[in-house]
Structure 1
Amino acid sequence: MELKTKRLTDPTHVSPTLVLKSDDRRDLNTIKALASEPRVRILSELAEGLHSVGDLSRSLGLPLSTVSQHVKKLESCGLVHIEEKPGERGLQRICQRVYDRIVIDMPTHSEPSHEHPIWEFSWPVGAYSDASVTPTCGLTSEIGLIGLTDDPSSFYEPNHPSAQLIWFKSGYLEYRIPNRLPHSVRPRNLWLTMEICSEAPMYHPDWPSDITLWINDVELGSWTSPADFGDQRGLLNPSWWEDRNTQHGLLKGWRVTERGSFIDGIRLSDVTCDDLQLMKNRFISVRIGVKDDARHVGGINLFGQKFGNYEQDIVLRVEYI
């Protein structure tokens, strides 16, 4: 169980989020507790503020004993905080919801096996070394826009490394990261994860885009993003970011092995880890983009750790022997 923000009992806290991992036995108990319509209704009622167990019984039309059992289960999982306060007829049990959002992280095929040593490197989305993009395009940091919207020259502003969200219709961003792999080793597996989606004007639920990834100038293949997501507000977006804009992406994981290249377990190409020649240079080049001649030229949004739904930058992992 991973807590992304402070608890509700902290008066400085806003909009707490609970992240549950489906492969954690303790978190599974919480997930099971949510598999109940009355408990979900109780949590919805508590969105309006504090309620006694008696209040919940009357508003939900359920027996007091039934509501008490459900509240007790929610309290045992840490989803509800209960305090006893004096009432007209003795002590009242006052209920308070602890979390505003609950996210369930599902395991993916992209996770390292940890059978061999793993080198990991994380870098901000704004820390690119080269850019060639077409409008619609733009960059924003956590506090505001960088340069001008739909002006590719803004991608060369001196503060572009502070970008937390980047978007463009076609072209690419290239990152050159320092190669810190030990000398005389053989890379065996590579993983790369980032939060991305298509780029439409504002946002669009049906906006395919063929997003391509290259490592050391070797094309791994393309993944078709289904949409530019704006249906629900991104969990990490700053308050000034308007609801009419793109809100979040999908956390995608590329993997290059001795058998080929994959995205979320789906085969992309026959490119292997040996083909990347990771030990050739003192840097590893990672290029992400949309080809001008792609079937779906639907752009790209790339999210940093302060935007979207996933609190991470671009992450590269290499397993070696």
Structure 2
Amino acid sequence: MRTLHLNFEEAIEICKAISNKHRMAILRLLSERPHNVNELAERLDLPFSTTAVNVKKLEDVNLIITELLPGRGTQKINTKNYDQIVIDIGPQETKKPEHAVVYDMPIGEYSDCEVEPSCGLVGETDYIGIQDDPRSFYETGRSEAQLLFFKAGHVEYRFPNRLPYGDKATQIEFSAELCSEAPLYKLDWPSDITVWVNGHEIATWTSPGDFGGERGFLTPDWWMTNHTQYGLLKNWRITKEGCFLDGMKVNSDCTIDTLKIAEKPFISFKIGIKSDAVNMGGLNLFGNKFGNYEQGIVMKLKVEEKN
């Protein structure tokens, strides 16, 4: 049985997401077996659009996951992530005051890159530069990119370090929408995508495929549906206990102290495909006007105040 343990602060967003009878009903149905949105809509006697919105709310807080089944077209199957939720309401350890620094980095604002074809940048209304030409990644208009893709290599982002002098970083997390990169799109196309923070390897996630055939919520109408349409929202978190991918601990060797955030003028986030990856399936990275999630690369830095 998978249990999600929450403290008071973590429980707020989860409680907001499940304070709706339709979402609670969806979780109950998914406890029986995985369903697609059509099945959920039929069993709940709700319009498809209403059901899809409620499913996305549950996805956003990681209570359910949506996957595409190879060999079954573009059918998306929803599965619950946890069997129960436990909220700790016991006495809390007295802590120094904390606050968070949040920054949403546009995907075209990378500081360094090394990419191999197939590769390209896509803006809100057209391609940026020449498709499959790595030189396009150095075009002055790259900051307007809403989708970038490459078969091999990496992009690196340097976030402004807004940690107040004298304060201590207690946790840092990043989130981004991404998937594999295949010609046009291919649902069964695994890719080992790795993230590094301040030069330290955090985690490798194997994307199941390159998702297309069904338009993303934000994907512009001019972009054909036989191309990549959307990705999955992934979350990487580093604390004093180690590194977590979508809430699951994946690395104990690197901690928030290992990153030495207070000693650096910027915070580096690098994402790409390692040269020795088993699944060299490329990478698609989505901006706030492409795909399913209205964001670029979001960094959230939790800070313990000195005074």
TM-score range, shorter chain: 0.7 to 0.9
Alpha-carbon separation, structure 1, partners of 2:24 and 2:170: 38
Secondary structure at the aligned position of 2:229 is classed as coil
Superposition deviation, residue 221 in structure 1: 2.1
Alpha-carbon separation, structure 2, partners of 1:169 and 1:286: 19
- Tell me which of the two structures has the higher relative contact order, counting C-alpha pairs closer than 8 angstroms and 6 or more residues apart: 2
Superposition deviation, residue 296 in structure 1: 0.8
Q: Does 1:108 align with 2:68?
A: no
Contact 2:213 2:227 in 1 (8 A): no
Alpha-carbon separation, structure 2, partners of 1:267 and 1:313: 24
Secondary structure at the aligned position of 1:161 is classed as helix
2:20 is matched with which residue? 28
Secondary structure at the aligned position of 2:240 is classed as coil
Alpha-carbon separation, structure 1, partners of 2:267 and 2:218: 29
Contact 1:215 1:286 in 2 (8 A): yes
Secondary structure at the aligned position of 1:247 is classed as strand
Contact 1:125 1:313 in 2 (8 A): yes
Q: Does 1:165 align with 2:157?
A: no
What stretches of structure 2 of length at least 5 have no aligned partner?
A: 1-12, 27-39, 64-94
Contact 2:211 2:228 in 1 (8 A): yes
2:219 is matched with which residue? 237
The CA deviation string for residues 43-100 of structure 1, in whole angstroms up to 9 with x for no partner, is 36xx9xxxxxxxxxxxxxxxxxxxxxxxxxxxxxxx6xxxxxxxxxxxxxxxxxxx99
Superposition deviation, residue 27 in structure 1: 5.2
Q: Does 1:301 align with 2:306?
A: no
1:130 is matched with which residue? 112
Superposition deviation, residue 139 in structure 1: 0.5
Alpha-carbon separation, structure 1, partners of 2:275 and 2:202: 17
Alpha-carbon separation, structure 2, partners of 1:36 and 1:301: 30
| Residue in structure 1 matching 2:271, options 261, 284, 288 | 288
RMSD in angstroms over aligned alpha carbons?
2.5
2:176 is matched with which residue? 194
Structure 1 vs Structure 2: percent identity of aligned residues?
Answer: 43
Alpha-carbon separation, structure 2, partners of 1:177 and 1:25: 30
Flag the 1:153–1:267 CA change in 2: closer, same or farther, 3 A. same
The CA deviation string for residues 258-292 of structure 1, in whole angstroms up to 9 with x for no partner, is 11101012222121000111111211111111012
Query: Whose radius of gyration is greater, 1 or 2?
Result: 1
Secondary structure at the aligned position of 2:188 is classed as coil
Flag the 1:239–1:293 CA change in 2: closer, same or farther, 3 A. same
| Residue in structure 2 matching 1:277, options 252, 256, 260 | 260
Contact 2:211 2:229 in 1 (8 A): yes
Superposition deviation, residue 22 in structure 1: 6.6
1:93 is matched with which residue? none
1:88 is matched with which residue? none
Q: Does 1:176 align with 2:158?
A: yes
Query: How many residues are treated as equivalent by the alignment?
Result: 244
User: What is the TM-score when the length of structure 2 is the normalising length?
Assistant: 0.73
Contact 1:237 1:308 in 2 (8 A): yes
What stretches of structure 1 of length at least 5 have no aligned partner?
A: 1-20, 48-78, 80-98
2:190 is matched with which residue? 208
Contact 1:138 1:155 in 2 (8 A): yes
Flag the 1:199–1:36 CA change in 2: closer, same or farther, 3 A. closer
Superposition deviation, residue 33 in structure 1: 7.8
Q: Give the letter aligned to residue 111 of structure 2.
A: S
Q: Give the letter aligned to residue 37 of structure 1.
A: E
Superposition deviation, residue 183 in structure 1: 0.6
Flag the 1:36–1:165 CA change in 2: closer, same or farther, 3 A. closer
User: What is the TM-score when the length of structure 1 is the normalising length?
Assistant: 0.70
Alpha-carbon separation, structure 1, partners of 2:41 and 2:107: 40
Alpha-carbon separation, structure 2, partners of 1:25 and 1:180: 30
Secondary structure at the aligned position of 2:143 is classed as helix
